[in-house]
Structure 1
Amino acid sequence: MTSTVGEGLVDGCQWSDLELEAEIAALQTAIRTWAESKELWFDCGFKAYLDHVDGEPHDPPVVTLLICGGDLSTVLDGEDPEGNEPGFRELLEQRGYFYENINGYSMAIYPESEALSSAFARYFHWRWVCSLITEDTADVYQELYDHFARRPDDLNRLHWRDFETLLFRIFQNQGFTAELGPGTADNGIDLRLWQKNPIGDILTIVQAKRYAVGNKIDLTNVAALYGIGIAEGANKSMFVTTSSYLPVARRFAARFPGSIELAERRNVVDWCAKATQGIVADKSTLVSPEAVGRIISEVAHRRDPRVLHASFGHNVTMNNFALIIKETKHAALLMGLGNRTVSDDGYGQRGTEVPQFEPSTISRLKGDLVWRAKRKLDDGRISYWDGSNLYSAWSGEPETFDLYD
């Protein structure tokens, strides 16, 4: 993913993406230099929050994650006989940051000022939106459309291929059967769209140009696409750009109404706004109760890869069970399942449990009990990450829980 400079007013200054990235690098260098001076920098490093959790940005934004082992983790986790932790905290405060110990070895670094926090929030939100531009996640992640509907200038920050992919998802949202071209050697056709018609499918070919606002499309480009449409036997040709068109190009298109359409930035923004309205925040409405009821009846009495399990807890072991109710190549919608205890120690503190399936299970198809996750395939093993828990197919055997700390 590439982007050009995006600016935001911070403490009276304009901060670009590159400047924020330089600020992160300077912060990391200062931390490492301090730790090395104390001979604490062993098995340590930094990681971006998005790369670490593969989930939505934290609020407030995590500027960087300090992943530390050895002596530094001991110092920051409370065992500090030489009194180094106050110096670390002071270092961060002098630069306008503070830290939080997440789990003993992961330290989240946050900005102190509200203005800088807002700048980083915008920056990391942009990175998050970019990570969602994949071929089949848009019905799960409405942020794709909402972001560009509210911030149309960011269309020009997209890589040209990501702009094509965004249009691909938009047209699918509009009901077209869409095919995304290879990106190169595509004979001037970036997308093909088919629309059902009683007398046969209607084919529209699309060419997309992510141009700067002042770089207007000329007659040569529009006329060439019109000719390609005729050669391809297409019913219609569409040119889509983030800029606009020279008058001569508009006059040419006006000579062939119904055969060639010119769409520009305002059209893309309008399409995004309409797509956002069609994808509600409550993910449970994306799947009908009838469809979920059928899934429940199919998986309730047998081992099925649609039933997922994740264990979690710090010093304790707890279980989450979930059901896949919608799945694509890159994403899935999960519905939480209740836990049913199979055995325990008589106090309910240690034992085994399984997912709960009963007539009331369908009532969990609502609000916060339905959420999204990224689907990953690694060495033939499929997993689902929702930013907090890593799910995989349940083995079918009772899972151990242990609440003793």
Structure 2
Amino acid sequence: MKPDHELADTVKARTSDAELEAVVTSLQNSIREWATRHELWFDCGFQSYAKRIDGEPGTTPVATILYFDGDLGRALDGDFAGLDIEFVELLEQHGFWYERNDGASAHIYPQDESPLFQPLLDYANWQWVCGLVQQDIADVHEELYSHFAKRPDDLHRLTWREFEILLFRIFQSQGFTCELGPGSNDGGIDVRVLQRDPLGDILTLVQAKKYSPKNKIDMSAVAALHGVADVENAQKSIFVTTSNYLPSAHKFAGRTRIPMTLATSNDVRDWCQNASDGIIRDKSKLVAPSAVSNLLQTLSSKDPRIVHAHTGYSVIMNQFAVVLKETKHAALLMAIPARNISHDGYGQVGFEVPDIGLKCLERLTADHVFRAKRSVNHGQVSYWDGRNLFSAWNGEPAHFNLCD
């Protein structure tokens, strides 16, 4: 294996995923060897930020997350003389530093001046964008579009199915009624786009091919799409590829009875830019104040739209929110204040509940409305904003303890 400084130089020149992963693997191996030598490597491991946090990356990339349950955590806390200093020095030799995230994990970052900094940040953002390729995140995550508007070459990094879903989402963002094909046995059509029109609905059939730039589309492929469009009485068809077209394909498309568009990555880039421009960044503008007012007036203490999360490291705090809008994979939440109902006389330890009422309308601002990923496990719905995991409040007062 190359020494780390040689790997870093390689990464600076070329920033492929494999090269970045090689640097991170080298770092992980060194940490594991160090911890094993000191008999600390028990119930430990590494996870990526995308897998463990599943949230939007910050401005400093997390190269890897070290998780532990036992003596390794105590060593980092300085309980074993000198080992915490050794660990810091070990990371510095590789060009990294760390910060405790909670009682069971530490985030490891590249140093600011490291040639790995920007490549790792780009990689973290790429993993985040890939996690957004879902069928219904709509107006919640604009990065899905803005990333490919800026970096159309990254379309080649998608799987063929992710490419189909991205196109599906782009057409949906334009206000069309769309149907995503099953991905196999779809009759050669990946997306059906229906444009409602007073003079008659317009059906457009979309065929997607994620090919390498050298693998150009020939006449037979576009002829097949035209044949399906004719059978289904479609008014338009669009062939979309990450490669390009042979002259015979262009010639055929120019002579079809049903209008056919031949699109490439450049067109997808433009579509993504239009979709990104059309998304409202201030998420509080996505929900009308009247709708929020009606919601607040109908809430009860057992309403599943009131959600709660425990926050804080070494202290216990509470965060309450109201679900304003949700789809299968995403949601918009509005943070609401907590009301203290009992405490120790100093306000340090006690119980609190969400302070629900029309005054919460004041929270309908960009600072308090945030997006979260929605998931369902064993019938229980949860919302993850990258920092806190929210679930339905049980209606009982929530404990807080601000004593560190």
TM range (shorter): over 0.9
Structure 2 counterpart of 1:54 = 54
Secondary structure at the aligned position of 1:22 is classed as helix
The change in CA–CA distance for 1:268 and 1:310 in structure 2 (over 3 A counts) is same
The change in CA–CA distance for 1:329 and 1:237 in structure 2 (over 3 A counts) is same
Matched, 1:397 2:396: yes
Matched, 1:360 2:359: yes
5+ residue gaps, structure 2, are 1-7
Q: Distance in 2 between matches of 1:63 and 1:50?
A: 10
Identity over aligned pairs, percent: 53
Moved more, 87-96 or 220-229: 87-96
Shift of 1:244: 2.3
The change in CA–CA distance for 1:139 and 1:27 in structure 2 (over 3 A counts) is same
Task: Indicate conservation of the 8 Å contact 1:194/1:204, yes or no.
Answer: yes
Secondary structure at the aligned position of 1:62 is classed as coil
Secondary structure at the aligned position of 1:373 is classed as strand
Shift of 1:10: 6.8
Q: Distance in 1 between matches of 2:87 and 2:155?
A: 40
Matched, 1:45 2:77: no
Task: Indicate conservation of the 8 Å contact 1:284/1:365, yes or no.
Answer: yes
Structure-to-structure mapping, 1:94-105, within 5 angstroms: 94-105=93-104
The normalised TM-score by structure 2 is 0.93
Matched, 1:93 2:72: no
Secondary structure at the aligned position of 2:372 is classed as strand
Structure 1 counterpart of 2:204 = 204
Structure 2 counterpart of 1:74 = 74
Structure 2 counterpart of 1:346 = 345
Moved more, 150-159 or 9-18: 9-18
The change in CA–CA distance for 1:295 and 1:160 in structure 2 (over 3 A counts) is same
1:275-305 Cα deviation digits (max 9, x unpaired): 1111132111122222222211221x45211
Structure 1 counterpart of 2:285 = 285
The change in CA–CA distance for 1:99 and 1:344 in structure 2 (over 3 A counts) is closer
Q: Distance in 2 between matches of 1:32 and 1:91?
A: 11
Matched, 1:243 2:270: no
Moved more, 167-176 or 347-356: 347-356
Structure 1 counterpart of 2:386 = 387
Amino acid at match of 2:254: A
Task: Indicate conservation of the 8 Å contact 1:310/1:319, yes or no.
Answer: yes
Secondary structure at the aligned position of 2:102 is classed as coil
Q: Distance in 2 between matches of 1:11 and 1:47?
A: 21
Shift of 1:387: 0.9
Structure 2 counterpart of 1:5 = none
The change in CA–CA distance for 1:95 and 1:387 in structure 2 (over 3 A counts) is same
Structure 2 counterpart of 1:4 = none
Structure 2 counterpart of 1:333 = 332
Q: Distance in 1 between matches of 2:301 and 2:70?
A: 46
Q: Distance in 2 between matches of 1:404 and 1:28?
A: 35
Task: Indicate conservation of the 8 Å contact 1:10/1:116, yes or no.
Answer: no
Q: Distance in 2 between matches of 1:124 and 1:315?
A: 28
Q: Distance in 1 between matches of 2:364 and 2:149?
A: 29
Matched, 1:267 2:267: yes
The change in CA–CA distance for 1:304 and 1:104 in structure 2 (over 3 A counts) is closer
Task: Indicate conservation of the 8 Å contact 1:9/1:15, yes or no.
Answer: no
The change in CA–CA distance for 1:12 and 1:356 in structure 2 (over 3 A counts) is closer
Structure 2 counterpart of 1:232 = 232
Q: Distance in 2 between matches of 1:115 and 1:25?
A: 17
1:107-129 Cα deviation digits (max 9, x unpaired): 22111234211111011111111
Q: Distance in 2 between matches of 1:102 and 1:359?
A: 36
Q: Distance in 1 between matches of 2:351 and 2:84?
A: 41
Structure 2 counterpart of 1:137 = 137
Amino acid at match of 1:196: R
Moved more, 162-171 or 48-57: 48-57
Structure 1 counterpart of 2:315 = 316
1:316-344 Cα deviation digits (max 9, x unpaired): 32211101111000010001111122233
Shift of 1:9: 8.7
**Aligned alpha-carbon RMSD (Å):** 1.8
Secondary structure at the aligned position of 1:184 is classed as coil
Secondary structure at the aligned position of 1:139 is classed as helix
Structure 1 counterpart of 2:110 = 111
The change in CA–CA distance for 1:9 and 1:163 in structure 2 (over 3 A counts) is farther
Q: Distance in 1 between matches of 2:383 and 2:61?
A: 24
The normalised TM-score by structure 1 is 0.93
Structure 2 counterpart of 1:373 = 372
Moved more, 385-394 or 355-364: 355-364
The change in CA–CA distance for 1:37 and 1:127 in structure 2 (over 3 A counts) is same
Deviating beyond 6 angstroms after TM superposition, the runs of 4 or more aligned structure 1 residues are 8-11
1:359-384 Cα deviation digits (max 9, x unpaired): 32112111120111111100011111
The change in CA–CA distance for 1:114 and 1:289 in structure 2 (over 3 A counts) is farther
Q: Distance in 2 between matches of 1:286 and 1:115?
A: 40
* Residues matched between the structures, number: 396
Q: Distance in 2 between matches of 1:231 and 1:360?
A: 58
1:191-217 Cα deviation digits (max 9, x unpaired): 111111224432211100112233322
Q: Distance in 2 between matches of 1:260 and 1:94?
A: 58
Q: Distance in 2 between matches of 1:264 and 1:13?
A: 28
Q: Distance in 2 between matches of 1:386 and 1:277?
A: 23
Structure 1 counterpart of 2:295 = 295
Task: Indicate conservation of the 8 Å contact 1:10/1:115, yes or no.
Answer: no
Shift of 1:257: 6.4
